[in-house]
Every structure is written in structure tokens, then in C-alpha cells.
Structure 1
Amino acid sequence: MGLSLWLVPNAAQLQLIQGVLPKQPETRPVSAASYPNIIPHITLASSGKATQDTIITALPSPLRPIPVEFRKLEVGDHYFRSVFISVKKTTELVALHEHIMAALERDGASPSAPAFPHMSISYIADEDGDTERKKAADELRAVTVVEGSETGGAGTVVLRCGDSEEGRVWLSGFEGMEVWIVRCEGPVQHWQVLQKMSATSDVA
């Protein structure tokens, strides 16, 4: 796969989302490749040709925080999009994506970003198929994901992320505060984070 550029939540939100991601089920057998530990993110671009320096050069300067809004829980037909939350195409997110893609295209890196924008929450092997992917989505709806009218309107998703001293924690999106360069080669557990770059807010 090569290198990927990820938009990642702030540290607190990252921990909350990771805490509710599906784990390997104990009640039914699945492939060892299913349900690996993953880092919640939105892939801004991937390339088998780009170098780390090329990707850094493709980023806008300064890099600003990007608000992300969840839209819909979906089941896909690809390992890396087995169960995912599609994301609203906000002006800020689309502008960042298009800036990066155009810069990588100019450098001949042939970037891609299938089903942009989305946040995958389960990778499930093809041998476990549509049945397991649907089960994972159904279990999420039963425990973690609240959709539609319950969240205040169609086209919205909220994640139940446990409780705090202030009460129940809900996330309807996240603040994209870091962009990571990740080498995505081999099994997911062998992927390597090469660099983390923090977004900066305007100072009044």
C-alpha cells in the first residue's frame, strides 16, 4: 500500500473512540485478520509512490484543526472498509483533501482515497464475509452507535463513549488535531507511524 496520510482526533477523543471499537468476538470463531486494533482516522491520501518528504510538502501551511462530523454507519465490501462511519463533506475537510491530492498529483505520486471521507471502525477479513460485517454493525447499533431521529435528525450519528464525572460522554464527530504519516505495509499490527504533525489554531 505504501504511505498514507491520516487525519486523527485529538488525544482525548482518540482514546474515547478506541474504547468503543469492536473487539474479536468470544462467542463465534473469526479469522485472525479480523478485528485488529486500529487507530480511528480519516485517510486524506494514500500512495505507493510518494516519499515521506513528498507528503510533508503536500500539506498546507499552516495546518489548521479540521472539525469532523459523523454522518452514517455503513457496511462495506472491502477489508479496510468493513464497517465504517461516513463523514460529512465539510468545506474545511474537502479543501484539505483536495489541496493534498492536487499536490501529490503534481509530484506524480498517483494518490488515492477510496470512499473519502470515512472513519473505519472494523477491519473484517473477506473469509468472514458479509455476515460478520453485518453482525459487527448490528452489535454497534445495539451498544455504541445511535443513528437518525434519536440523535436529532436524519444523517447524523452519535457514539456512546462511556461515562465521566460530568455524565455520559457522546461524540457526534471529532476535532482533527493531528495529521499522521503512516507506512501501511503488511498486517495492520505491523503498520508504522512515521511522523505526527499537530494542527495549530489562530491566536487572537
Structure 2
Amino acid sequence: MSGLSLWLVPNPVQLQLIQKVLPKQPETRPVSAVSYPEITPHITLASSGKATQDAILRAIPSTLHPIPVEFQRLEVGDHYFRSVFISVKKTTELVALHDHIMAALERDGASPSAPAFPHMSISYIADEDGVAERKKAADELRAITVVEGPENPDGAETVALRCGDSEEGHVCLASFEGTEVWIVRCEGPVQHWQVLHKITVTPDIA
């Protein structure tokens, strides 16, 4: 990956909770040094190798509201950046934001992309570690972190993440509230990616 990406990021409390349960490099088996880097949970709204930061800023709607993100399934992918991920429900608000940004960047000639939109990656695992390692990571998550709900009558599925305990009891997240939009320079190893700009979404007033 090389270029700029626009991310929808959970509110700070939910961000910390999700980060707590993301898989770390396993101690019991050897894996590539580039597998299991520390990542920020997010939904990629658009990426571009051509766009400037100004073009990305222009593409963001002038008025933003918190975007609800609902988890659907834990999945194993065939790409480093989609090794293990949670697919996300295509809500009206999320799709409208994505479409607005993509259209604006297209008009700017930025050739944006957003593969497998919308999803939240859980782990990046190198191709050299293979599908077996990705499946193992997903299975380990299911065993200790992921609660998979029954399939609904409409065929939809739901998952929740066990994010530890609090004074109120077990904390499980089946969704998050997207309250920040980040512009990130994604060049080189994941640990070298740079957050260039953060926009806090205006909260809805009841």
C-alpha cells in the first residue's frame, strides 16, 4: 500500500476496548516479522495513491455526524490487509459517506479505491505465513474474544467482541460509533504509517 487513506475510527473509549483484544504475535509458533503489527481499528472510506491531503480534505462532507458501525461476520481473507477482518453492515449513513467521498475524489482524478468496503481489519498476516496462520488467528479469536450470534431470518449474522470486564460486568461490542475521521499516509511498514489529520465528528444533539 502506498498513498493516503481516509479512515472512520471508533470513539476513543471503544477504540481502546477493541485494541485490547487484537491478536499479538504468537509466542508458541514462528511467524513473519511483518505479521501481527499493532493496528488501529478502522473502516477505510477511501484510499488513493494520487490524492493530495488537500484533495482528501475537500472530499469530506462539510457536516459530519457520528456514524454507527454494526459488526456482521468474522472472516478470513486472501490479502495482507484483510487477513482476518470483521465485515460490517452497509448502513445508509455509512454508504452515503463512502459514496460522497469516492465521488469527490473521482472528480479530482484521484482514482480512489476501498476494497471489500466496509470492513474492520483485526490482523495483518504475511502471505508467507499462509492461509493456515490466518485461519488459526481467526479460530483463536473465536475461542476467547468473538461471540457469534445466530443467523437472523434475513440471512444476516452478527458478532460481538469480548473486550474485558468493567465495574458494570462483561464488556461486549457488537458495533462502534465512528466519531473521528483520520487522514493517514500509508507508506512502508505499518508501524511507519503517519496520521496526518484528525477530524472529530460533530455529535448529534438529542
With the shorter chain as reference, the TM-score category is over 0.9
Partner of 1:178: 180
**Deviation per residue, 1:161-194 (Å, 9 max, x gap):** 0000010001001000000000000000000000
Partner of 2:195: 193
Whole-angstrom distance in 2 between the partners of 1:200 and 1:76: 34
1:155 aligns with 2:172: no
Partner of 2:141: 140
Maintained 8 Å contact 1:147/1:154: no
1:108 aligns with 2:105: no
Whole-angstrom distance in 2 between the partners of 1:7 and 1:67: 10
SS at match of 1:46: strand
Q: Which amino acid aligns with 1:183?
A: R
Partner of 1:169: 171
Q: Which amino acid aligns with 2:175?
A: G
Partner of 2:119: 118
TM-aligned CA deviation for residue 154 of structure 1: 5.0
SS at match of 1:60: coil
Partner of 1:4: 5
Maintained 8 Å contact 1:82/1:120: yes
Partner of 1:54: 55
Q: Normalized against structure 1, the TM-score is what?
A: 0.97
Distance 1:133 1:31, change over 3 A: same
TM-aligned CA deviation for residue 61 of structure 1: 1.4
1:203 aligns with 2:205: yes
Q: Which amino acid aligns with 1:55?
A: I
31-40 or 141-150: bigger deviation: 141-150
**Deviation per residue, 1:131-162 (Å, 9 max, x gap):** 000000000000000113299x9510000000
Whole-angstrom distance in 1 between the partners of 2:40 and 2:157: 24
Partner of 1:23: 24
Partner of 1:78: 79
Q: Considering only aligned residues, what root-mean-square deviation do their CA atoms show, in Å?
A: 1.5
**Deviation per residue, 1:84-138 (Å, 9 max, x gap):** 0000000000000000000000000000000000000000000001000000000
Partner of 1:97: 98
Whole-angstrom distance in 1 between the partners of 2:16 and 2:164: 11
Distance 1:154 1:102, change over 3 A: closer
Maintained 8 Å contact 1:55/1:104: yes
Q: Which amino acid aligns with 2:190?
A: V
Whole-angstrom distance in 2 between the partners of 1:78 and 1:46: 16
SS at match of 1:32: coil
Maintained 8 Å contact 2:74/2:159: yes
SS at match of 2:127: coil
Maintained 8 Å contact 1:148/1:154: no
Partner of 2:40: 39
Q: Which ranges in structure 1 are unaligned for 5 or more consecutive residues?
A: none
TM-aligned CA deviation for residue 203 of structure 1: 3.4
